Structure 1
Amino acid sequence: MKAIPVSQVAPGHPDHALLSAIAGDITARAGGRAALADKLAAMLRACIDDVIMTAKTGRRSYDELEKTEKTYIGTRVEIELRALLGLKRGRLDTEILGHDVDIKHTMGANWMIPTEAVDQPCIVVAADEVQARCYMGLIVARADHLTAGQNKDAKRSVSAHGFAQILWLVERHPYPPNFWRTVDPDTVARIFAGDTGNARMAQLFREIQRRPIARDVVEAVARQRDFMRRIRSDKGRGTRDILAREGVLLLSGQYDAALIAELGLRTCGPSEFIACRPASAAQIDLAARHGLALGGKGSPAG
């Protein structure tokens, strides 16, 4: 998203009363400004990742999507946002305080406003995958807030002047980054070089340690139906067994929270995992007291 000018929507602005009222209703429905930002961030990450479908398709980024899939993300955001805020359908995308409101989403730097939304209040949402930041604002899409040019569907984008007419509810709020954007490409190649789910998962946790890994990332790497069985101890064949023989602990945020805290690792959610190679004999003993024995070739305990 480009640099955003200071909003001119303040007392005295012709749209201040309307946009402030809609903003108040939206934030109340979400449980406050902070809750709105956090819920929006989580929703956007899920909408994008659910279309990328790494576990099924092997794709790892938004850039790999087909044009129709990118368009569908906008539809998905519209549907999810209505559900998140408990809004009903309207003549446009929704209705708030008796006003028809359009919902527009972009993964770029602008929104395309259809002719039926001109002079109507719009919720504008943006997700910046590169910066992992999200935005949500309100604008009355007046003709003089839009560019003169239009696309083949007669849609017009928000002009530079129009950007200053947006009342922001969420601005530059962090949202969970695409995991694969945070990993070196050579590391990614090594992780996916394995010819079995266990091999790929073991490499994932060899390469990336002391950092929580979400369940959906593990599923994407495993690319097999019963991946959770593989990540647990499995008669010496599971990913946890393989890593333990190499002296690496693979811990679950749900079942190993106490050990994770005692090792001084980052807190994991219940659906996250974290790996580490104990740094001392004391840490090896600590793991053993929690029922996790290390041993074998490459292990500090071996």
Structure 2
Amino acid sequence: MARLVLREPGDLCVNTESGEHTLTAPEHDAEAQAVLGWLQDHEISHVYTESIRNAVDYVLDGGRTGRFDLLSPEVHPGERASVGAKLEYEVLRSLSLPKAKPLDTVISGVPVDIKATVGSNWAIPSEAHCQLCLCTQIQLKKNRHRTWLVRAHRSWLYRGKGNKDGKRGLAVQARDQWSVPLYDWAPLPVNPLRYLSEEVAQQVLADQPGQEERLLMMFRALEGHVIPRNTLLTVARSHDPTRRAREVKKAAAAEGLTLLCGRDAGAAHGIALRAGEWIAVREDAGNGVLPQTAGSGSG
């Protein structure tokens, strides 16, 4: 990566297809302020958390592959990199934004590119040079993410030919000094299967015993953890994992476990569940359910 001596806001941005223009800090960038104003009306941290969760689940394809950890050796580096491409569509869908040229979308009449990385930098394509970009960094080992709005001035991109597509990385100084963080580090939900020992995980995901036996084993091992639908799908490998989960409630009850599903069931026992989420809790003889400390969903 070539050494980059950064020009600062007020200097000229040179060597661009659109010609020389003044470098602008976000507070003096009318288009950036318009986009920020629109984004501030949405729960962006929540939108990105759910979008990343969905993108990761899509890439892992647990219902067919049995995979539940994006850092697993079974996941090709190219698959991990593809999370960013899927994330773009998830964000557009969640925010009801159009897929629109010349970049990825348009917000308040302003073209915006959407970029994400599971590494330390983004690959900014030539068409996005000097344009506004939503740049998301996903740290898989720390289960967290954050997003900035930055105008990717070419003078703030690493020089040279870039990669084979002409993409260039954004200078860290530009990200830190002349961009706008949309939210601080936000936690990513952890797939509860990652809490299992390797031995138990192999048993829960084995072809034998059957679906119901695997689900019961999972609920038993993950008592007190919130289980999202995608985790059920990974274990049951069924088109209707929710029905399969309901079919093990009687067997779980015989072991003193109560299986709860959804908002109403969780609320009745003082446990926060969302639609489609499950939890196994222990019965206390004569005193009802004993809630456990619940973990988060998938990711």
Q: TM-score, normalised by structure 1?
A: 0.77
Change beyond 3 A, Cα 1:91–1:185: same
The structure that is helix-richer by fraction is: 1
1:267 aligns with 2:272: yes
CA shift at 1:257, angstroms?
3.5
CA shift at 1:67, angstroms?
4.9
CA shift at 1:205, angstroms?
1.0
Q: What amino acid is aligned across from residue 228 of structure 2 in structure 1?
A: A
Q: Residue 5 of structure 1 aligns with which residue? A: none
Q: Pick one of 159, 174, 187 that aligns with 2:187.
A: 174
Q: 1:259 & 1:84 partners in 2: Cα distance?
A: 29
Is the Cα contact below 8 Å between 1:136 and 1:170 reproduced in 2?
A: yes
CA shift at 1:68, angstroms?
5.0
Q: Residue 265 of structure 2 aligns with which residue? A: 256
Q: What amino acid is aligned across from residue 211 of structure 2 in structure 1?
A: G
Q: What amino acid is aligned across from residue 89 of structure 2 in structure 1?
A: I
Q: Pick one of 223, 241, 245 that aligns with 1:231.
A: 245
Is the Cα contact below 8 Å between 1:91 and 1:100 reproduced in 2?
A: yes
Change beyond 3 A, Cα 1:202–1:68: same
SS at match of 1:138: strand
Q: Residue 89 of structure 2 aligns with which residue? A: 79
Q: 2:38 & 2:282 partners in 1: Cα distance?
A: 50
Q: 2:225 & 2:154 partners in 1: Cα distance?
A: 49
Q: Residue 147 of structure 2 aligns with which residue? A: 136
Q: Within 5 A, what are the aligned runs for 1:18-33?
A: 18=29, 19-28=32-41, 30=42
CA shift at 1:72, angstroms?
3.8
Change beyond 3 A, Cα 1:207–1:179: closer
Aligned length: 262
Deviating more after overlay: 160-169 vs 251-260: 251-260
Q: 1:210 & 1:124 partners in 2: Cα distance?
A: 35
Deviating more after overlay: 194-203 vs 248-257: 248-257
Q: 1:246 & 1:90 partners in 2: Cα distance?
A: 57
CA shift at 1:124, angstroms?
0.8
1:243 aligns with 2:252: yes
Q: 2:94 & 2:288 partners in 1: Cα distance?
A: 44
Q: 2:135 & 2:83 partners in 1: Cα distance?
A: 14
Change beyond 3 A, Cα 1:43–1:210: same
Aligned sequence identity (%): 28
Listed one character per residue, the Cα deviations across residues 184-211 of structure 1 (whole Å, up to 9, x for unaligned) are 3333223224421011101001111122
Q: What amino acid is aligned across from residue 132 of structure 1 in structure 2?
A: N
Q: Pick one of 198, 201, 207 that aligns with 1:188.
A: 201
Q: 1:162 & 1:95 partners in 2: Cα distance?
A: 23
Q: Residue 161 of structure 1 aligns with which residue? A: 173
Is the Cα contact below 8 Å between 1:134 and 1:170 reproduced in 2?
A: no
Is the Cα contact below 8 Å between 2:66 and 2:205 reproduced in 1?
A: no
Listed one character per residue, the Cα deviations across residues 42-101 of structure 1 (whole Å, up to 9, x for unaligned) are 111112112211012212222344455444432222222223333331311122344332
* Structure of higher RCO (CA pairs closer than 8 Å, 6+ residues apart): 2
Q: Pick one of 144, 149, 157 that aligns with 1:146.
A: 157
Q: 1:81 & 1:282 partners in 2: Cα distance?
A: 44
Q: What amino acid is aligned across from residue 239 of structure 1 in structure 2?
A: V
Q: Residue 295 of structure 1 aligns with which residue? A: none
Q: Residue 220 of structure 2 aligns with which residue? A: 206
SS at match of 2:92: helix
CA shift at 1:255, angstroms?
5.8
Q: 1:226 & 1:104 partners in 2: Cα distance?
A: 34
Is the Cα contact below 8 Å between 1:253 and 1:274 reproduced in 2?
A: no
Q: TM-score, normalised by structure 2?
A: 0.77
SS at match of 2:136: strand
Give structure 1 stretches of 5+ with no counterpart. Answer: 1-7, 233-237, 287-302
Q: What amino acid is aligned across from residue 190 of structure 1 in structure 2?
A: Q
CA shift at 1:112, angstroms?
0.6
